[in-house]
Amino acid sequence: MTAIVETKQLTRRYGATLALDSLDLEIPAGAVYGFIGPNGAGKTTTMRILTTLLLPSSGQAWVAGHSVIGDVQAVRRAVGFMPDFFGVYENMRSWEYLEFFAAAYKVAPERRARMIDDLLELVGLSEKRDTDVMGLSRGMKQRLSLARTMVHDPALLILDEPASGLDPRARVELRELLKELQALGKTIMISSHILTELAEVCTHIGIIEHGRLLASGDVKTIMGSMRPHRVFEVHLLSDLDAAANLVRGLSGVLDVRTFPDALPPMLHIDHDGDDRSVSAMLAHLVAGGAAVVHFAGQHSDLEDIFLQVTDQAALESATNVAPR
């Protein structure tokens, strides 16, 4: 898959502070790329470099094949940027706000009216077309700002903490809008330190901390690498120890743990076999007299992955510290 964003040894210093540390990053075209990290990890710095608003101290970055240093105007034509804090203007209606930015991007006047109507419909603000921008709710302003990033039809949308300050309903609406934009062929890079905001929409993730990219790739591959085997949760109405003994030693079973205080009592079975061997394991339990009332594989979420990656990085860093 072709990369729409690529960085090589991208570094940014603010005085003595190293904000980005030799960042090598690739984002494939068509992806929804979740850029995950705590506050101060380097997410906004990366995004500002990719949008040509900040120069790197060293290294290079390309967007849609254009250098962010040597081909600034081409990069700006390819990118729509929604910063974490953005301004709206007083005494300006929603359609005028989009008209202003369309003119700034030199969108042909004869195209603007239809384009503005289409964007307002896309973000669910058609009924607010003539509403003063300052009278919109926080969530509506976020959606209007997202529409503004698309007035020049960019291939890449870079969204810095777009759900910040939104209520739960507005966050759901934003997630649905992001899915629709992906369906339209847009590549989306979205940052957040709230991992649950990204779990449902991302196809790819990158985890950054202290300016270093700790992991990057498609969600399925990263989750598989963090948990190479699967954990199955089995709730039982029959004897727990007897059920545990039934599965110990079966093909694919790595470990069996009992939780007698759970209601109902529960087994956790670590298993590295294929689906056929999982099915055989369940059949063996039932045939052996286990009264199974629930059988399901546990799934890692982004919080699990983030904690595993950052904990591993912290351990490696501590191990590599030279003794005094």
The angle at the Cα of 52, spanning 47 to 56, to the nearest 5 degrees, equals 75
| 186-201 tens-digit pLDDT | 999 998 766 666 667 8
Q: Name the 3-class secondary structure at 323.
A: coil
pLDDT at 158 over 60: yes
Q: Mean of the pLDDT values across residues 283-293?
A: 95
| 38-51 tens-digit pLDDT | 888 899 999 999 99
DSSP state of 322: P
How far, CA to CA in Å, does 310 sit from each of 26, 37, 160, 203, 313?
20, 9, 21, 20, 5
Q: Mean of the pLDDT values across residues 28-34?
A: 93
The DSSP bridge partners found for residue 206 are 35, 216
Q: Mean of the pLDDT values across residues 202-214?
A: 89
pLDDT at 322 over 50: no
Q: Which of 73-82, 129-138, 205-214 has the highest mean pLDDT?
A: 73-82
Chain mean pLDDT for the chain? 87
Residue 302 binned pLDDT confidence (cut-offs 50, 70, 90): low
User: Which helix (H) or strand (E) segment is 82 a member of?
Assistant: strand 79-82
Q: Which CATH class is domain 228-297?
A: alpha beta
Q: Mean of the pLDDT values across residues 63-78?
A: 95
Enumerate the CATH 3.40.50.300 domain ranges in the chain, comma separated: 3-223
Question: How would DSSP label each residue in 32-61?
Answer: EEEEE--TTSSHHHHHHHHTTSS--SEEEE
pLDDT at 143 over 80: yes
Question: How would DSSP label each residue in 238-289?
Answer: S-HHHHHHHHTTSTTEEEEEEETTSSS-EEEEEE-S-HHHHHHHHHHHHHTT
Region of poorest pLDDT, from 86-100, 147-161, 279-293, 300-314: 300-314
- The pLDDT, as a whole number, for residue 170 is 77
Residue 315 binned pLDDT confidence (cut-offs 50, 70, 90): low
- The pLDDT, as a whole number, for residue 81 is 94
171 vs 125, higher pLDDT: 125
Q: Mean of the pLDDT values across residues 218-243?
A: 82
| 74-111 tens-digit pLDDT | 999 999 999 877 677 778 999 999 999 999 999 999 99
pLDDT at 7 over 60: yes
Distance CA 295, CA 150 (A): 46
pTM above 0.85, yes or no: no
How far, CA to CA in Å, does 268 sit from each of 226, 253, 260, 278, 304?
18, 11, 11, 13, 17
Q: Which residue is it, tokens 């109507």?
A: 117
pLDDT at 304 over 70: no
- The pLDDT, as a whole number, for residue 115 is 93
- The pLDDT, as a whole number, for residue 179 is 86
At the topology level, CATH places domain 3-223 in Rossmann fold (3.40.50)
Distance CA 4, CA 155 (A): 9
Q: Name the 3-class secondary structure at 231.
A: strand
Enumerate the CATH 3.30.70.100 domain ranges in the chain, comma separated: 228-297
The DSSP bridge partners found for residue 20 are 12
